[in-house]
């Protein structure tokens, strides 16, 4: 998007700008042809694990695909690294209050997408501080969740995105830790204590990376684009004036306004609303 109304949180600004940015950075290779069971639209009764730095990244990038997967009878679990408790300029905001707001927003967004709140796992780390959490412990935490859920596919931030070099630490760290945890989940001797806890090794067969600079997999989400826009707008404390002054009385109205705006700005290709991922079996 060339014109983004200020003020927007960096996270959203990235998403809005990010919709256009990867196109410029994209390699010119044509997208591989994926058919049959390689098409995510065909899936049912599969287990999908989402591992996200903040409780909004997955909604903004993958909400349409997740809504479709949920509607088709797949089980989705969402692991959130941080509580997102620092992204507000409201002088009266506290970290505890923001944590509660962001938690409720994520639960509402997931509800709209068809994911029950019981399927959200909060690792509970402070917003912006993921880089300073003990990396061994963090990797073990995520490896444990992978082994617990045994996903058929996993969604997370692309660790190869150029803009991760300067984007917030949680995205850099989250991206790297997730792929390290996928490896640690696969090899039983990485964290033998997990096996002792009853979590046996599990190989994640397929990963869809979002925020990718080199996407190779496009999903047509036109049928659920409105659902995605509503779910994204559920994160209303991340938008516009609500960042500067959170007004509980304005939540409903602001959500409606932003849902319409986000739908209008959704990434499109040949008139269809799309989401793009880097699909990978090697990581
Ligand atoms: Zn984020």
Measured in Å, residue 221 CA sits from the centre of ligand 1 at 21
pLDDT(13) > 80? no
Measured in Å, residue 15 CA sits from the centre of ligand 1 at 9
- What fold is seen in the domain 44-280? Rossmann fold (3.40.50)
- Beta strand 153-157 with 47-52 is parallel
Measured in Å, residue 255 CA sits from the centre of ligand 1 at 19
Measured in Å, residue 84 CA sits from the centre of ligand 1 at 8
- For residue 161, CA distances in Å to 153, 170, 205, 209, 247 come to 20, 14, 21, 10, 35
Percentage of the chain beyond pLDDT 90 is: 83
pLDDT(164) > 80? no
Which pLDDT belongs to residue 207?
98
Measured in Å, residue 191 CA sits from the centre of ligand 1 at 28
250 class by beta-carbon count within 10 Å (0-12 exposed, 13-18 middle, 19+ buried): middle
* Token pair recorded at residue 246: 């959170």
Which pLDDT belongs to residue 17?
37
For residue 157, give the nearest of 14, 16, 277, 18 by alpha carbon.
Answer: 277
Quickly state the pLDDT bin for 145 (edges 50, 70, 90).
very high
Measured in Å, residue 193 CA sits from the centre of ligand 1 at 30
Measured in Å, residue 166 CA sits from the centre of ligand 1 at 13
Measured in Å, residue 244 CA sits from the centre of ligand 1 at 18
Measured in Å, residue 173 CA sits from the centre of ligand 1 at 11
Which pLDDT belongs to residue 177?
96
Measure the CA dihedral 21/25/28/34, to 10°: -60
Q: Where are the domains of the chain?
A: 44-280
Measured in Å, residue 147 CA sits from the centre of ligand 1 at 24
State pTM to two decimals: 0.89
Measured in Å, residue 171 CA sits from the centre of ligand 1 at 6
Percentage of the chain beyond pLDDT 70 is: 88
Measured in Å, residue 129 CA sits from the centre of ligand 1 at 12
Neighbours of 169 (CB within 10 A): 15
Measured in Å, residue 196 CA sits from the centre of ligand 1 at 33
Largest CA distance in the chain: 54
Phi, psi (degrees; rounded to nearest 5) at 91: -60, -20
Measured in Å, residue 209 CA sits from the centre of ligand 1 at 14
Which pLDDT belongs to residue 107?
98
240 class by beta-carbon count within 10 Å (0-12 exposed, 13-18 middle, 19+ buried): middle
Measured in Å, residue 53 CA sits from the centre of ligand 1 at 6
Quickly state the pLDDT bin for 21 (edges 50, 70, 90).
very low
pLDDT(9) > 70? no
Q: Is 7 helix (H, G, I), strand (E, B) or coil?
A: coil
pLDDT tens digits for range 187-239 = 999 999 999 999 999 999 999 999 998 999 999 999 999 999 999 999 999 99
Measure the CA dihedral 240/241/245/250, to 10°: -100
Which pLDDT belongs to residue 22?
44
Measured in Å, residue 39 CA sits from the centre of ligand 1 at 27
CA 243-262-56 angle, 5° bins: 55
pLDDT(18) > 80? no
Measured in Å, residue 200 CA sits from the centre of ligand 1 at 30
């Amino acid at each position: 998007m060339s014109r983004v109304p200020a003020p927007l949180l960096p996270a959203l600004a990235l998403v809005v700008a990010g919709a256009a940015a990867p196109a410029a950075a994209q390699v010119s290779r044509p997208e591989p042809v994926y058919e049959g069971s390689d098409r995510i639209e065909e899936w049912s009764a599969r287990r999908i694990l989402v591992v996200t730095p903040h409780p909004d990244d997955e909604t903004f990038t993958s909400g349409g695909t997740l809504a479709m997967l949920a509607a088709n009878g797949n089980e989705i679990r969402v692991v959130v690294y941080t509580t997102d408790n620092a992204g507000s300029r409201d002088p009266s905001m506290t970290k505890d209050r923001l944590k509660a707001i962001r938690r409720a927003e994520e639960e509402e967004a997931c509800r709209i997408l068809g994911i029950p709140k019981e399927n959200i796992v909060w690792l509970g780390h402070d917003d912006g501080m993921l880089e300073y959490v003990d990396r061994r412990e963090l990797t073990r935490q995520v490896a444990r969740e992978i082994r617990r859920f045994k996903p058929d596919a996993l969604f997370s931030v692309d660790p190869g995105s150029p803009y991760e070099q300067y984007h917030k630490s949680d995205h850099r760290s989250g991206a790297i830790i997730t792929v390290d945890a996928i490896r640690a989940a696969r090899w039983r001797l990485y964290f033998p204590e997990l096996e002792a806890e009853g979590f046996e090794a599990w190989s994640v067969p397929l990963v869809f990376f979002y925020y990718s600079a080199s996407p190779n997999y496009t999903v047509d989400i036109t049928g659920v684009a409105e659902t995605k826009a509503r779910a994204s707008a559920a994160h209303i404390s991340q938008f516009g004036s609500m960042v500067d002054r959170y007004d509980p009385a304005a939540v409903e109205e602001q959500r409606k306004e932003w849902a319409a705006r986000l739908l209008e700005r959704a990434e499109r290709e040949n008139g269809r609303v799309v989401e793009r991922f880097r699909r990978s079996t090697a990581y």
